[in-house]
């Protein structure tokens, strides 16, 4: 499989180890059969995939969002899928989450939505528990938490 990636900066190690090829965002959208989103939700990434991006994608492309729901404009996604502007989408996250029962996305036959289970592996859950314990002991010792979730 030929892997394209886009990031703010090139990742030479990924290119060597994975054989990945850096592409501009527009090149990636235009050439990819599968566009997989794995970005954090920031002001910069909120709504980063919308009407303009769907218009650049192949008619045969599938969008996979395992990032955060708000990275994708849900109305634009519903339009693209309904009009068959893209082939399909698979979402592990939505915005809002969960979607209201009458949301247009829930009526589509070319969309799969999973209940935000991307981290539901034994290995990941074990690591999450270990991180919680490390944080607990650091807090009890009056030390900074090594795995802070938010900065206050």
How confident is residue 87, by pLDDT bands cut at 50, 70 and 90?
A: very high
| CA–CA separation, 4 and 27 (whole Å) | 9
Q: Is residue 55 within 8 Å of 81, Cβ to Cβ? A: no
| Percent of the residues in the chain that have a pLDDT greater than 90, as a whole number | 86
How confident is residue 121, by pLDDT bands cut at 50, 70 and 90?
A: confident
DSSP helix, strand, coil percent of the chain (3-state; round to 5): 35, 15, 50
**Range scoring the smallest mean pLDDT among 8-12, 105-109, 120-124, 127-131:** 120-124
pTM as predicted: 0.80
Closest CA to 38 of 18, 70, 12, 68: 68
Residues with active-site annotation: 68, 97, 116
Strands (E), 1-61: 4-5, 21-22, 34-37
Backbone angles phi, psi at 62, to 5 degrees: -120, 130
């Amino acid at each position: 499989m030929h892997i394209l990636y886009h990031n703010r900066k090139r990742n030479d190690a990924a290119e060597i180890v994975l054989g990945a090829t850096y592409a501009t965002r527009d090149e990636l959208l235009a050439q990819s059969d599968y566009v997989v989103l794995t970005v954090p939700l920031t002001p910069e990434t909120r709504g980063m995939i919308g009407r303009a991006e769907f218009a650049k994608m192949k008619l045969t492309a599938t969008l996979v969002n395992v990032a955060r729901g708000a990275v994708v404009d849900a109305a634009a996604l519903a339009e693209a899928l309904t009009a068959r502007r893209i082939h399909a989408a698979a979402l592990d996250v939505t915005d809002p989450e969960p979607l209201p029962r009458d949301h247009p996305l829930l009526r589509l036959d070319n969309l799969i939505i999973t209940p935000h289970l991307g981290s539901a592996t034994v290995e990941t859950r074990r690591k999450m528990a270990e991180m919680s314990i490390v944080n607990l002991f650091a807090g009890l010792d009056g030390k900074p938490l090594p795995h802070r979730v938010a900065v206050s």
